[in-house]
Amino acid sequence: MAEFDSTYVQPWTGSAILLVDLDAFFASVEQLDHPAWRGKPVIVGGDADKHGVVSTASYEARAYGVHSAMAASAARELCPQAIWTHGHFDRYKEMSARVMAILHDESPHVQQVSIDEAFVDVPLTEVNSEHPVAIADRIQKRVAHLGVTCSIGVGTSKTVAKIASDQDKPRGLTVIYPGSELDFLFPLPIRVMSGVGKRAEEELLRHGIRTLGDMAEASEDVLHSIYGKNGEMMRMRCLGVDATAVKQDETVKSVSNEMTFSQDLVTFDAIENAANMLAAKVARRLRKNGLKGSTLVLKLRFADRTSKSCQTQLRAQDDNEHVFMPEILRMISQIWKPGMRVRLVGVAVSHFEKDEVVQESLFDTAPFDASPQDEQGAAKKPSIDAEVGRSLSKATDKVKDRFGEGAVFFGRDLRFKDKTTGTAAKNPADYSR
């Protein structure tokens, strides 16, 4: 490994935070594992004819205008010669873990924010006198030795480091020295700031706010009208002031699973089966981690890209999908009506602390005062008793633990086999077995 060249490094004082972002991660791993694909456009994502979206595109594909979250059909039109793959998610998780091990070796303060991105706190102290840029340089070289590359932003706060990491890709190293934050931030367009989504950007532009400098100088009333109580926080971030610490919080706050379907779900039974399948996956993960939750959430995304969510409080903390399923039936009845075409279904369980005060619903939902009904208006009842279901779940857990996840399938699972988009998420937990 070549030694670090400190010729052009300026002195550093105060806090130092790195944002390490793996370059086109999924696609880079595929090119690493398939040497013939190197230098060619590679797209990891769902099927173009099944509502799929692009998870990651190699830089060769990006040259044609392909980008993450783009509809797969649009990507295929822009780059018909691209090599397509649904991805190899266990391999991505393995490679991500190796990268994170490097970061933890460099600093005890690592906050992983996605499968391909993490903050690293490397402050100059009496114990650690190494320059932050030297650490960033070494991280880049160690990651490259694995066969993938990363871009790194170095700054005095998480906000500055994150924005810096996006400035020079791939394998860029952008350093914003203490005292130069305003010179760096003020000319940048507002869309580079996290928290500036499409709607917020439109509203800011309507008020003539086009750069981070404009936002920093905007009136309190304007920022409050857009961000509410967070308006002043957004201003301070535009000034490079962000006191958010880099901390590794290993406390699990929720366990969730969601799936996008290649064919819209148009009946109550289809949505119920999909939600129950996901509830079973979530429940198995809860049991594997020794967790029980008291809040159950259902999310539906429709063909018009709108979403609705609903949550309910269980009578007691539980990890049994057969307890979740009757509640899911009621929630489907709350937010779905005949004629709605469902593209994505998600199920989540949270509130694991036994002494935790139950929160009010995050969503505008009415009390569940009616039994769920099918399309013909007939009352639906759970297909299996909760206690019987608990025994069945424990038995299937043992079989899967010994012989693998594919050892046991239920009818609901087979119903959706080969009917998903193949699109990959960047949440490491989504790859848990």
SS3 258: strand
Answer yes or no: are the C-beta atoms of 250 and 316 closer than 8 Å: no
Catalytic residue check, 202: no
Question: In 3-state terms, the chain is what percent helix, strand and coil (to 5)?
Answer: 40, 20, 40
Helices marked H in 239-320 = 268-288
Instruction: Calculate the alpha carbon distances from 191 to 17, 159, 277 in Å.
Output: 22, 13, 37
Q: How far apart are CA 227 and CA 230, in angstroms?
A: 5
Q: Is 278 exposed, middle or buried (0-12, 13-18, 19+ CB in 10 A)?
A: buried
Q: How far apart are CA 317 and CA 314, in angstroms?
A: 7
Question: What string of H, E and C letters represents the secondary structure of 317-348?
Answer: EECCHHHHHHHHHHHHHHHCCCCCCEEEEEEE
Catalytic one of 117, 181, 272, 321: 117
Q: How far apart are CA 109 and CA 120, in angstroms?
A: 6
Q: Which of 302, 286, 397, 385 is nearest to 343 (CA)?
A: 302
Classify residue 44 by its DSSP letter.
Answer: E
Answer yes or no: are the C-beta atoms of 177 and 12 closer than 8 Å: yes
Q: Which residues pair with 307 in a beta bridge?
A: 301
The two structure tokens encoding residue 250:
């290993």
Q: Which of 187, 194, 131, 209 is nearest to 163 (CA)?
A: 194
Q: How many helices (H) and strands (E) does the chain have?
A: 15, 12
What positions carry a catalytic annotation?
117
